Chain A
Amino acid sequence: MNRFNFHSGVVIPLDRSNVDTDAIIPKQFLKSIKRTGFGPNLFDDWRYLEPGEPGMDNSLRKINPEFILNKSEYKNGSILLARENFGCGSSREHAPWAILDFGIKAIVAEGFADIFYNNCFKNGILPIKLKKEMIDQLFNLAKNQVLELTIDLTSQTISIKNDIFTSFEIDEFKKYCLINGLDDIGLTLEKKELIKSFEQAYYKKYSWLGIK
C-alpha cells in the first residue's frame, strides 16, 4: 500500500456538498478490471462537455473550461477541498483509485461517507475531516489565491506557509497503517491461528452456518 506521512500541495477547492461516487467516477468507467488508469475520467461528467466512454482518447475531448480541475492553476493540485458528505453513494473503490490516479493525495472536507472514507485509507489517500468553520475559512483563502497546504500526518497538523492552521483527528490504527504503508491482509493473516480457533468454537455453537 502507498504510504502517507507528509505532503505539501496545491488545494483544489470543489465547493459542493454530497459529492457522490457517481460524480467522482461515472459508471461506464467501472467496467475496467484494473485498478489504474481512471485519472483522466475523474469527475468525467463535470470535466468534459461531451459524454465519455471507456477507451476514448481523452486528450481529444472538449473540456469544460469552467470546471475547477481544468483551470491551469489546479491541474497539478494534490489536495482536494470539499464540503459535507463527500464520497456518498456506492462502495466503488474506483472513486479513490481515480482520485489517486489524478494525483490527489489528501481530501479535506466537512464530512465523508463511511465506505468512501475507509476506501481512501486502503489506497494511501488521507481523508481529513474538519469543522465547518475551518472548511469555510479554507474556501475563503482558496478563493483569492492559489492555496498551498502542508499536511503532517505524524503530528496531525495542517499548515499554511510555516504556520499551523489546525490540527486534525485520526484513528490511531489507520494512522499507523498509512504511515507505514501496511497491507491489512498481511497483518490479519498474522492472526491465522486465532481465526481458526474462533471458527472452531463458532461452528460448534452455530452449527447450521457450517454446513455447505
Chain B
Amino acid sequence: MAKTLYEKVFERHIVDKSEDTYLIYIDRHLVHEVTSPQAFEGIKIANRELWRKDSIVAVPDHNVPTKDLEKGIEDPVSKIQVETLDQNCKHFNLIEFDMSDKRQGIVHVVGPEQGLTLPGMTVVCGDSHTSTHGAFGALAMGIGTSEVEHVMATQCLILKKFKTLNIHLEGYVNPGITAKDIALYIIGQIGTAGGTGYAIEFTGLAIEALSMEARMTLCNMAIEAGARAGMIAVDQTTINYIKGKPFAPAGEQWNKALEDWKDLYSDQDAIFDKKIIINAADIKAQVTWGTSPEMVTSIDGFVPDPDEIKELDKKNDMLSALKYMGLSPKQAIKDIQLDKIFIGSCTNSRIEDLRAAANVVRGKKIAANIKLAMVVPGSGLVKAQAESEGLDDIFKKAGFEWRAPGCSMCLAMNADRLNAKERCASTSNRNFEGRQGQGGRTHLVSPEMAAAAAIAGHFVEVGTV
C-alpha cells in the first residue's frame, strides 16, 4: 500500500498499540536546561534508570549569555538552571556540550550540525521547535517535561497518529524569496492553528530546491502553523549534508543507511488527510505586523484595518494586536521604523543565514535610529565558520554587535531583550506579546530583510538598499 513519509517513519517505531494509542520508540533525545530539571528530578525521586543514555545529547542554550562570557552567567537563577543541567549530565553520565565547549549552541542548530539527527529517526526534545529536525525526513517533535521524563525512563512516547497534511508548492519561488518567507506565507494562509493535529509534509520543486539549512528553517516554523511535526523527504541534498558529520554513520554502516534512506519519501499515490497547494511564485518577502505569526503580510503590503473585519473575535484580536504593536490601520509596512535588529534563533542563525545577511550589509552602515543591531550565531561552530569567512568583520564594520551563540533575544531569557515599546526586526519565530522582552514589539522577517532594515532604519525591499 502506498504510504506517506510520516507513516513510513511512524510505523518503524511502533513498539505496541492498543486501539488508536501507540507506544513509539524514540531514537534521539535532545535536552536543554529549561525543560529538563524537573524530569531529571522525577527520575531520581522514583529511583529510575535512564533507558538508553547514548540517545541523549544535552546542551544549554536558553539562558546562556552572548557577551562577556568570561564573567559567566550573572543572573543567579539562570546560573542555577544551567549548572543543574551540567550536574544532571554528570550524574547520569550523558553527552553534554557545556558552555565551555566550542560545539555549544542552540539545540536545534547543534543537533543537525553534529549529525545527531538522521533520516527515519524519531527525534524528541522538550522544545516545540524540535520540528526543525523533520527537514531530514525524521519524525521530530516537541514534548513537555513529563514526556521528557517518560522518554528518559522508557525510550518511548505514548502517541496517537497525527493526521497528515501535504503542503505542496507548485513551481519555483522568485529569486530572493527565502525559506522564512515561505514559512510565514504558509502560516498567513492557513493560520497558527491550521496544522493543529497534523504532521505537515512539504513537497514540490520549490522545496526540493532548498538547501538543508533552508529546509530546517521551514520545518522549524511548522509548529507556528500548529503542527507538531514538519517533514521533508530525503534526497541527495539531505545525504550530502549528513555525510561526514561527527555522529553520522561511516564506512559500511553509512552504505547500509543510504540504502534504507532511499525509501524515505511519500509514495506517489499515498493519501494525505489534507492537501494544500500553493503557487510558489505568489510568495513575496514577508513581514509580520501583529502578535501572532499569522498576522503577516508582504513587504509591499499594509497593516490591515480592523474595521474591514466582520467576525467580532477576529476584529478584537486585531485591535489588541495593533494597540500592542503601536501601529495604525492601513500603514505601509515600509513606513515602520525600527529600534533594534536581531539576527539569530534556531530559525535563522546558521551559516547560510549569516552569509545572506552579511551580503546585504557589506560596506554599509546601520541607520542612525537603530539603537542595537546584533548577530547571534546558532552555535560555536557556526560562529567559527563565519569568522573564518570574515563575516564578523562585515557585520562589525556595519555597526552590528557580534555575539556568542545561544537563544538570546529570541525569547529574552538571558540579558538580551527589548525594552517596552522598542520595535525589532527579528529573524526568530514568535512575535507574541512580551516574547522578546515585556512590551517589546517584534516583526518576524528573513535574515536578508532584517539586514536591509538595519541599513535603512525601516522595512524596505532587500534589493533596494
Contact = CB atoms under 8 A, between A and B. Distances in A.
A33 B317 contact: no
Interface in B303-319: 313, 316-317
B15 A195 contact: yes
A20 interface: yes
B430 A89 contact: yes
B411 interface: yes
A22 B226 contact: no
A118 B193 contact: no
Given A18-B317, A88-B226, A184 B146 contact: yes
A155 interface: no
A14 B442 CA distance: 24
B46 A34 contact: no
B118 interface: yes
Contacts of B21: 171, 173
A26 interface: yes
A209 interface: yes
B313 A185 contact: no
Contacts of A191: 15-16, 23
Interface residues of B, number: 73
B196 A45 contact: no
B15 A184 contact: no
Nearest to B38: A35
A12 B54 CA distance: 46
Contact of B196 (A85, A173, A189): A85
A34 B38 CA distance: 6
Central interface residue in B46, B158, B316, by most chain A CB within 10 Å: B158
B156 A33 contact: no
Contact of B144 (A30, A85, A118, A188): A118
Interface in A77-116: 83-85, 88-93, 96, 111-115
A164 B146 CA distance: 34
B197 to A, nearest CB: 6
Interface string B81-99: 1001000000000000000
A31 B193 contact: no
A32 B75 CA distance: 12
B154 A195 contact: yes
A103 B432 CA distance: 25
Contact of B77 (A55, A90, A111, A184): A55
Interface stretch (B248-256, B275-283, B384-392): B248-256
Contact of B153 (A32, A172, A189, A212): A189
A211 B253 contact: yes
Contacts of B320: 16
Interface in A135-192: 171-173, 184-185, 188-189, 191
Contact of A122 (B75, B147, B313): B147
Contact of A89 (B54, B128, B313, B438): B128
Contacts of A113: 193, 196, 226
B253 A33 contact: no
A28 interface: yes
A96 B16 CA distance: 28
Given A31-B77, A91-B126, A194 B16 contact: yes
B448 interface: no
B413 to A, nearest CB: 5
A207 B145 CA distance: 29
Given A51-B438, A91-B127, A84 B193 contact: yes
Interface string B42-58: 00001010010010000
Nearest to A187: B158
A18 B226 CA distance: 11
Nearest to B152: A185
B17 to A, nearest CB: 11
B80 A91 contact: no
A68 interface: no
A30 B35 CA distance: 8
B181 interface: no
Nearest to B290: A18
B192 interface: yes
Nearest to A191: B16
Contact of B149 (A33, A185, A212): A185
Nearest to B198: A114
Contacts of B12: 202, 206
Contact of B433 (A22, A118, A188, A194): A22
A208 B15 contact: no
Contacts of A184: 146, 150, 158
Given A17-B313, A31-B413, A33-B38, A208 B192 contact: no
Given A20-B432, A91-B143, A189-B153, A83 B313 contact: yes
A96 B54 CA distance: 30
Contacts of B150: 184-185, 188
A41 interface: no
A33 B411 CA distance: 18
A91 B147 CA distance: 11
A92 B260 contact: no
B126 A173 contact: no
B177 interface: no
B292 interface: yes
Given A33-B80, A55-B77, A118-B143, 12 more contacts: A20-B432, A23-B432, A31-B34, A31-B413, A83-B313, A91-B127, A114-B228, A189-B154, A194-B15, A207-B253, A207-B256, A209-B121
6 contacts: A26-B434, A30-B62, A32-B81, A194-B15, A198-B15, A212-B54
Pick the 5 closest A-B CB pairs, nearest first. A122-B146, A208-B249, A33-B37, A119-B144, A208-B253
Interface of B: 12, 15-16, 18-19, 21, 23, 25, 27, 34-35, 37-38, 41, 46, 48, 51, 54, 62-63, 75, 77-78, 80-81, 84, 118, 120-121, 126-128, 130, 142-147, 149-150, 153-156, 158, 160, 192-193, 196-197, 226, 228, 249, 253-254, 256-257, 260, 292, 313, 316-317, 320, 411-413, 430, 432-435, 438
